[in-house]
Amino acid sequence: MRRNHTSLTQPNRKISPHLKSHAAQGFSLLEVLVSVMIITVLMAAVFQFLRFNQQRYRGDQLLAERNQGARSALELMTMELQQAGHNPNLTSHKTLAADVTPTGTLVNIDVGDTTGIFYGNLVEIGASATDPNWETVTVGKDSTHAITSSTFPAIITLPHTSGQPVFTRSLPFPNGILYTASAVGSGQSVAVNTIQYFGDIHGRGTLAYGEYKLVDTGATTTLKCTGASGEESCHLLTLNRFVTSILTPEIPADKTASGDSFSPLADNILGLPDAGGVFRNPDQRPIFQLNYDTFGNVTYGFTTYVRSVDVDITMQTTDKDPEVADYRTIRMRSHIVPTNINYAWGITLLGGSPELPFRPTDQAGHTLPIPD
């Protein structure tokens, strides 16, 4: 039986002369122009999109830089101000270098090295509460007795022999953030340009004194602040920080004598001075605010407890945002509670205020705050 085989090969097809002619000619000028126009429009849209994104990225980058600067400044302020008023115990006990006899008045107690001992410190002399010669004394001073590099004055009631251990059991300073109120009362607040504080703020077992200060650079910005007479150009401020160690028994006579100086912590802060010269935010809220209670009377004196600090800063970008052709701002706030000062306030409420230490003073009469 014969089978028919169908060829799988397609028959040759002839190309139309018209198609051959069109292929040989290529695209017409009109077609090329239309194609170029379409590509141009598409590329313009692409470049516009890229330019927009580049501007947005630059603006976000400027804000991120301001955000980081503000966050770093507030973190440092929070860390240090929370420790304000901390009065450290001696990291290791000292030893009496000479016998001491009670006289009913201040006597100089020789411990060889008074580093870490300040006026108002509670000092324990003796090995323990079961030691028959154990007692707690308060470091004091008068016109003829002051802390030296090796001795501190106190009133003792028991005789003590050379070699006995000496410990400090230090209560917190109630005035670790310095402010003297003009009236007695609680729940008060005041706006300030400078925060002055002291204590073992770095946890090193020694006292340090520091300041945060708002300084007017003399420059203004296009951004507006609300003042008493309406909107005005905001001033550009710098937040400066100063910190120095207080080495017993010497407190620097001034900041220059300390060997330290102010250093910028944050810049381009927006503010406008009020009638009292205190800088406020664009919406008139204070940049620095101390919240305090004042306790005491004429007989025993007055003590101000700054129990919290509000920091509210508005910062301007260093350059204009290319997307909006103007400066952008970032605002950060922090409510800082100094735990040691509030601990001192609790002691006061329990009737223990006479036991709290007072502001450090050295034998030359230097005290805090350290003047410029």
CATH of the domain at 150: 2.40.30.20
What integer is the mean pLDDT of 288-293? 96
Are residue 226 and residue 326 in the same domain, yes or no? yes
- pLDDT top residue among 357 and 154: 154
Question: What is the mean pLDDT of the segment spanning 301-314?
Answer: 92
Residue 153 lies in a domain: yes
Does residue 31 belong to any structural domain of this protein? Answer: no
Between 66 and 102, residue with greater pLDDT: 102
Q: Is 59 helix (H, G, I), strand (E, B) or coil?
A: helix
pLDDT over 80 (residue 362): no
Are the beta carbons of 268 and 236 closer than 8 angstroms?
yes
Indicate the residue among 143, 169, 195 that finishes a domain.
169
Both 160 and 267 in one domain: the answer is: no
Domain that holds residue 189: 59-86+174-355
Q: Are residues 114 and 223 in the same domain?
A: no
Q: Is residue 49 part of a domain?
A: no
In a domain, 286, yes or no: yes
pLDDT band at 217 (very low <50, low <70, confident <90, very high): very high
Mean predicted lDDT score pLDDT of the chain: 86
User: Is 336 found in the same domain as 191?
Assistant: yes
Residue 200 has phi, psi (to 5 degrees) of -80, 70
Residue 312 lies in a domain: yes
Which of 117, 145, 169 is a domain's end point? 169
Model confidence pLDDT, tens digit, residues 11-27: 555 555 555 555 556 67
Same domain, 258 and 345: yes
On the question of pLDDT at 353 being above 60, the answer is: yes
- Write down which residue in 145, 169, 193 finishes a domain: 169
| Structure tokens given for 106 | 């201040």
* Domain shared by 220 and 314, yes or no: yes
Count of domains in the chain? 2
Mean pLDDT for the stretch of residues 27-41? 83
| Secondary structure percentages of the chain, helix, strand, coil, to 5 | 20, 35, 45
- Asked if residue 330 is part of any domain, the answer here is yes
Give this prediction's pTM: 0.77
Residues 181 and 160 occupy one common structural domain: no
Query: Is residue 14 one of the residues assigned to a domain?
Result: no
Q: Is residue 68 part of a domain?
A: yes
Residues 248 and 151 in one domain: no
Q: What is the pLDDT of residue 1?
A: 45
164 and 182 together in one domain = no
Whether 324 shows a pLDDT value over 70: the answer reads yes
Q: Is the pLDDT of residue 100 over 90?
A: yes
Distance between CA 248 and CA 196 in Å, rounded?
Answer: 19
Q: What is the structure's pLDDT at 164?
A: 92
Q: Residues 70, 102: one domain?
A: no
Q: Who wins on pLDDT, 43 or 195? A: 195
Task: Give the span between the Cα atoms of 137 and 227, in whole angstroms.
Answer: 54
Read off the pLDDT band of 55 (50, 70, 90). Answer: low
Q: Tell me the per-residue pLDDT of 131-178, one tens digit each, with 9 for 90 and over.
A: 888 998 988 888 888 888 899 999 999 999 999 999 887 889 999 999
pLDDT in tens, 239-284: 999 999 987 668 899 999 999 999 999 999 999 999 999 999 999 9
pLDDT tens digits, 224-249:
999 888 899 999 999 999 999 987 66
One domain for residues 278 and 137: no
> Which residue type, as a one-letter code, is found at position 362?
D
> Do 266 and 307 share a domain, yes or no?
yes
Q: How confident is the model at residue 365 (pLDDT cuts 50, 70, 90)?
A: confident
**Residue 47 CA: distances (Å) to CA of 34, 42, 44, 51, 53:** 20, 9, 5, 6, 10
